[in-house]
A and B are shown apart, each in its own frame.
Chain A
Amino acid sequence: MEKIPNQKAWLLVLPVFAIVAFSAVIPLMTVVNYSVQDTFGNNKFFWNGVGWYQELLDPATELGGRFFASLWRNLAFSAIVLTIEIPLGILVALAMPREGWGVAFSLVVLALPLLIPWNVVGTIWQIFGRSDIGLMGWAINRLGFDYNYVANPIDAWLTIIVMDVWHWSSLVALLCYAGLKSIPDAYYQAASIDGASRWAVFKAIQLPKMRHVLVIAALLRFMDSFMIYTEPFVVTGGGPGNSTTFISIELVKLALGQFDLGKAAAMSLVYMLIIIIVCWVFFTVMTNAGQDRRPAGGEP
């Protein structure tokens, strides 16, 4: 049978092109466009080439300094949050009941923090941590510790980290729980017959079976924590000083506070590139970890 060329197909995919163009391509290109120009009031634009990028990537300049300082803060925050949330999530998932009424109960309890809007989470902890009227802040101070997240950078960091752990560990736990539930009973029975200890069961069965969901959990948590904005903005506003100013907060200051669209655009593009690269590395490393790359069936 002869194929009839029919260009009408283009017409059918046109809506998708249009939607993607308006939702992603055009806004992104606008940002690219801004990033190579300098703006003044009255909508006047001047060509600046890669000037903003050079300045951004040079820590000696004002812009570069701000960018790198907030970048390290972001990386530190993501690293801390991941090292706490992933093991904690696994532990919670392991401790969850497998059947009975406890399943529904624990799922609902775990899902609660995930259902609360970001800025509400921020507000809750902002009040919760206050040393005058906040239950936690007041209690810690009564215990004799000097805790004040408004004045002390370490306290501010602790508050934000605890808040993020509270907000997002459930996600990791739920994903791990799903992974655990997919393990057939025969594995546990075999392990028990093989005399495996609790730790051996975890290492030989549960962890390998959870690997895929853990990749997803780590990726999601990395992206989310690396892009964090609302909660620290509500709790600390980036302070005290600049101690909790993350890239996203810096971006908003630049773009909306100083109206430096060019600098902000360059910074957001670099920010996006970093996220994409780190995710790609994560994904590649974690999906290949522990794999035997020799072809199946052949001689070793």
Chain B
Amino acid sequence: MARIDLVELAHSYTGAADDPASFALKPTSMTWRQGGAYALLGPSGCGKTTLLNIISGIVKPSRGKVLFDGRDVMALTTQQRNIAQVFQFPVIYDTMTVGENLAFPLRNRGMPRAEIETRVRQIAELLDLVPHLGRKASRLTADAKQKISLGRGLVRADVAAVLFDEPLTVIDPALKWELRSKLKVLHRDLDLTMIYVTHDQTEALTFADTVVVMHEGSVVQTGTPEELFLRPDHTFVGYFIGSPGMNVLPAEVQGRQARIAGHVLRLDRTYCGLPAGARVELGIRPEFVRLAKPAPGLLGAKVERIDDLGRSRFAHVRVGDLRIAAGVPRGPAIGQEAALVFEPARIHVYADQRRVEGAA
């Protein structure tokens, strides 16, 4: 159990530490609270697994250091760091039974036999592995094997943190839900720091209380699921989280006014001194754009497609060259003319993809 600090961490797999373009992980500093449930969210190749492997000590970073409770652990091995990690694909010890697999990390650390037994029993109960305890692990299904891997990650009570590297990839969808909620329960019960790497936003948002979104090797936003939804700091976050993603529209912004496709929108806040030459965009989630009947003073649009997601419906409309998604309760037909109503308080302004804070 520990607080984990990353200090100016960067990594390049090509070993060119002085060439920032080659960095799989760009210089990153952050703190993981003791007992937090974190998700590292991002598309494949964004550096999240690299970051995870640096924390566990599997990968030596080209630059920077990792502190556990303020203590530099760069010189320590994975084993000495006392980290548990669960990998994407099940790793099981073929010749051992399920029980022996679960006991393996404890036995290696010389825990008394009786304690091992209670602990293994506990974890097995939690993961529904009790009926399989005496069976050879190699004979189980991929699901069950991954449960064993999860179990081995959770069996030690004294770990500094448990790291999950997309652990539910091989598990079937129904079981995914169940395991995820179990992990959450476990997190509450055990007071462990958990870091969960995934590219699935639902997984990240349901598991974590803090989500760290990564994009092209750097962390673009850290926050609660709500913050990520309501105030994306980066257009990538807006686009990656939420479905459909945030509308990002090229615009000209001056003071309290924004101009998109020749139409003037009133903003809630004043934006002065946007960096000259920066690419200015407006971001607004489809949930806060409403489709209305065409009327003077509203931005006219043409309906191209309607997505019915069951609980909500979204219209994809076209304004000049722009495509915008907007919430729509019922109606309009495809091809119909419509107008868009924006909720001014929900419009964010981005300069070069980063959110700009407006003045009241």
Contact = CB atoms under 8 A, between A and B. Distances in A.
B139 A296 contact: yes
Contacts of B105: 193-195
Ranked 6 nearest A-B pairs via Cβ: A292-B136, A195-B108, A190-B91, A194-B105, A204-B93, A208-B94
Interface in B86-115: 87-89, 91, 93-96, 104-105, 108-109
Interface in B53-84: 56, 58, 77-79, 83-84
B85 interface: yes
Given A189-B87, A197-B108, A291 B136 contact: yes
Contacts of A208: 93-95
A274 interface: no
A297 interface: yes
A209 B105 CA distance: 20
A299 B104 CA distance: 23
A200 B79 CA distance: 14
7 contacts: A189-B78, A189-B85, A194-B105, A204-B96, A208-B93, A208-B95, A296-B140
A290 B91 CA distance: 19
Nearest to B131: A299
Interface in A161-220: 184, 186-187, 189-190, 192-197, 200, 203-205, 207-209
Nearest to A296: B139
A195 B79 contact: yes
A292 B132 contact: no
Nearest to B91: A190
A297 B104 contact: no
Interface in B138-169: 138-141, 149, 152
Interface in B262-319: none
Interface string A108-144: 0000000000000000000000000000000000000
Nearest to B57: A192
B134 interface: yes
A297 B132 CA distance: 9
Contacts of A100: none
Contacts of B139: 292, 294, 296
Contact of A186 (B87, B93, B152): B87
Nearest to A290: B95
Interface in A60-86: none
Contacts of B84: 193
Given A292-B136, A300-B131, A300-B135, A193 B104 contact: no
Q: How large is the interface on B (under 10, 10 to 19, 20 to 34, 35 or more residues)?
A: 20 to 34
A187 B85 CA distance: 12
Q: How large is the interface on A (under 10, 10 to 19, 20 to 34, 35 or more residues)?
A: 20 to 34
B78 to A, nearest CB: 5
A294 B135 contact: yes
A187 B93 CA distance: 9
A100 B264 CA distance: 63
A186 B109 contact: no
Nearest to A297: B141
A208 B78 CA distance: 24
A93 B85 CA distance: 28
A192 B77 CA distance: 8
Given A190-B87, A300-B134, 5 more contacts: A186-B89, A193-B79, A193-B85, A193-B105, A195-B105
B185 to A, nearest CB: 23
A299 to B, nearest CB: 6
A253 B109 CA distance: 62
A187 B131 contact: no
Interface in B22-58: 56, 58
Contacts of B132: 300
A296 B141 contact: yes
Interface string A259-300: 000000000000000000000000000000011101011011
A112 B88 CA distance: 41
